[in-house]
Chains A and B, each alone.
Chain A
Amino acid sequence: MTPRITLAVTRRVLQQLRRDPRTVALMLFVPCLILLLLWWVFSELPGRDMVDSFGPALIAFMPFTVMFIVTSITMLRERTAGTLERMLAMPTGRADILIGYALALVAVCLVQATLVIGLGVGFLGMDVGGPLWALLLVALADSFLGTALGLAVSAFARTEFQAVQFMPALVLPQLLLCGLFIPRDTMPDLARAVSEVLPLTYAIDAMKGVQAGVDGQVATGTWTDLLVVVAIAVVVLGLGTFTLRRQTD
């Protein structure tokens, strides 16, 4: 890995995003709109505030999903356009590509998460006991996870169509199993066992842990959840490295 090359990749990815303002606007504002919609559809209903119940999960889910899609499609394009091969035929290390991408996308996620957290906490009165920077940190870890999974998936998809189809295939089951809709201890045993190895479970638990904190401290176990998310992301990213082959058929 060479810092010069890593940063060149980051700069280039950001340049590409800047050429595509519509995508950037969608990445940044769709999560805010979804959160607003969540607040609005439940606003007539008495009882628990839905922004409190689902807001943190949404903040965890959106960066994960968005980065998953962006990474899987852009990486697939690099593969099909031959630019990946060109980079690898040059002195580029595989880590330069992975980390360069991750840096660029995490930077975008930082803006995205700041906006959605600002909206939730500032305007919609989302109740958060822990510090706000902890929310941001968890959101960043989730976007990193999305990047890692998206990269791995790009190796198995031959077309952009297939890459997009991996989203419901890999993301929606995790959403159902993560304990958001039904507490995990009321699930069938097998479902609960599966949920325990899925990264989104820990991502959403970490968000809830930050929310459940008091006096600027996060709830017990939050950092462990966060570490599990990062650890899984690192392992997946490591596996993704093997999909960046210098030699292909």
Chain B
Amino acid sequence: MAPDDVVEVADLRVTRGGAEVLHGIDLTVGAGELVGIVGPSGGGKSTLMRAIVGVQANVRGEITVLGQPAGSPSVRGRVGYVTQAPSIYDDLTARQNLEFFGAVLGVGPDEVQSALATVDLAEAGDQVVGSMSGGQQSRVSLATALLGSPDLLVLDEPTVGLDPVLRRSLWGTFRALAAAGAAVLVSTHVMDEAERCDRIALLRAGRVLATGTPAGLRERTSADTVEQAFLALIDEVAA
């Protein structure tokens, strides 16, 4: 593995309910790199991310995160993970949620405040999560993952259901986190979001159809957008 590779996945196979859902995935994410996993729902994006975080059962193949096997105790505090549903306590305020997970990670109130500011919730910090809008709840969940300045961020569809202005601002945040040196892995089924990544992996039916820079993929398929490139690649496989 290259010296600055934060994640290296080799021949990953995952079985769920007796059936193989990931059929030999290879993927790397380097420090400072923003990598998108793009593909339709049910293609295995979440399962791949869960495997990288180390919470997926029945995993075969190699997954190395920060030089350790995925989910190792020494890696756990250095990986921020956001699931599709906001995994936070809806009967507590945003700040109380962050203070709790901050205490688990051993970070102080300063970092709680800056994580809230990063997701533009500094004002709403004392609002009970249950009374927040869906978009605000996703941002609380994201802020939780930012605590402790993780070396790797795994974000599973963090922008789904959010308005365009907020989506743009969050992608700006992901870009800034990568620029600050973190490895950022983001999944999305919105193809035009993928244009903002350094590199994308097109995942369909448990296989990586193609990886490369957005420009490279467009060029390879003579397409104008990533979406068209994706469709062209599917046709290529079918042909």
Contacts and interface: CB of A to CB of B under 8 A. Distances in A.
Interface of A: 4-5, 7-8, 11-12, 15-16, 19-20, 81-83, 85-92, 245-249
23 contacts: A8-B100, A11-B103, A12-B92, A12-B96, A16-B89, A16-B92, A81-B87, A81-B88, A81-B89, A83-B87, A85-B83, A85-B87, A89-B71, A89-B81, A90-B104, A91-B77, A92-B104, A246-B55, A247-B54, A247-B57, A248-B55, A248-B57, A249-B56
A12 B76 CA distance: 21
Interface string B91-108: 110001000110111100
Interface range on chain B (Cβ under 8 Å from partner): 20 to 34
Contacts of B22: none
B132 to A, nearest CB: 14
A5 B103 CA distance: 7
Contacts of A81: 85, 87-90
B85 A82 contact: yes
A135 B55 CA distance: 43
A86 B79 CA distance: 11
Contacts of A4: 103, 106
A92 B89 CA distance: 16
A96 to B, nearest CB: 8
A92 B96 CA distance: 17
A86 B87 contact: yes
**In terms of DSSP, what is the predominant structure of the interface of chain A?**
helix
B187 interface: no
B89 A91 contact: no
A245 B58 CA distance: 13
Contacts of A248: 55-57
Contacts of A88: 55
A85 B92 CA distance: 18
Contacts of B101: 86-87, 90
A11 B57 CA distance: 31
Contacts of B128: 19
A11 B16 CA distance: 36
Given A86-B101, A90-B76, A19 B92 contact: yes
B52 to A, nearest CB: 11
Contact of B55 (A12, A19, A20, A85): A85
Given A81-B87, A82-B85, A89 B55 contact: yes
B201 to A, nearest CB: 22
Nearest to A7: B103
A210 to B, nearest CB: 37
A15 B100 CA distance: 10
Contacts of A5: 103-104
A23 to B, nearest CB: 10
A89 B103 contact: no
A89 B53 contact: yes
B53 A91 contact: no
B3 interface: no
A247 B91 contact: no
Name, among B57, B77, B87, B92, the residue most crowded by chain A CB atoms within 10 Å (CB to CB). B87
Contact of A90 (B77, B85, B88, B91): B77
B46 to A, nearest CB: 12
B73 interface: yes
Contacts of B161: none
B188 interface: no
